[in-house]
Amino acid sequence: MDSFLQEPEKKRGINKILLGAVIIAVLVVAAVVGIISLQPSKQQVHDQVIDSAYREGSPEFALYTKKIAIQYDADHSIESLTGMGTRMMLIGGIVRNMTGKTLIGLEVKATVIDSFGKPVREKTALIIPKDVDSLGPDESLPIRVVIEGFNKDDDRANVRWKVTAIKVE
């Protein structure tokens, strides 16, 4: 009679809904990681774009460089402290394309110089296609380059811009 009044023991099993949700979540995460891993890295994009670009020394480079103007934009340049106690500068500029052709690749070097014209720090950056896909004839584009590692005593008198690679369409 005691066995008649006792509730039968329920077998604990695996919750099928929970198991299905975990499997779906793992598949979604694996798909996202797979898609992200197929994207080219910044360095691969940079190398691919600039690989066939005109560089210093070629006659095309000399021709097109004369018709690309980069102006330092002090109003959009910022200096700030980093967590390591050094200073960084976000240097603004404006690129103007007067070549008559569409630029599909542009690499520039920003150099911070001291009062005597000597370089303090410099950085080369890919502008096109990083910021925009292309820059048409007679168009302008605001640009920004971050240079880190300045000391508080560094003399930062001016900024020089230089085009280092051009690719036209």
Asked if residues 80 and 147 have their Cβ atoms less than 8 Å apart, the reply is: no
- The predicted-structure confidence for 91-113, as pLDDT tens digits, reads as follows 999 999 999 999 988 999 999 99
- The predicted-structure confidence for 4-42, as pLDDT tens digits, reads as follows 666 666 666 678 888 899 999 999 999 999 998 888 877
Which pLDDT band, with edges at 50, 70 and 90, does 2 fall under?
Answer: low
- The predicted-structure confidence for 63-89, as pLDDT tens digits, reads as follows 999 999 999 888 888 989 988 888 999
The values of phi and psi at residue 67, to 5°, are -110, 15
Strand ranges in the chain using DSSP code E only, listed in sequence order: 54-55, 68-81, 87-97, 103-113, 119-128, 140-150, 158-168
Residue type, 91: I
**Residue carrying the six token digits 């820059």:** 135
Q: Which CATH number fits domain 52-168: 1.10.287, 1.10.260, 1.10.10, 2.60.40?
A: 2.60.40
Provide the mean pLDDT of the chain.
87
Quote the pLDDT of residue 39: 84
Which pLDDT band, with edges at 50, 70 and 90, does 132 fall under?
Answer: confident
Quote the pLDDT of residue 82: 87
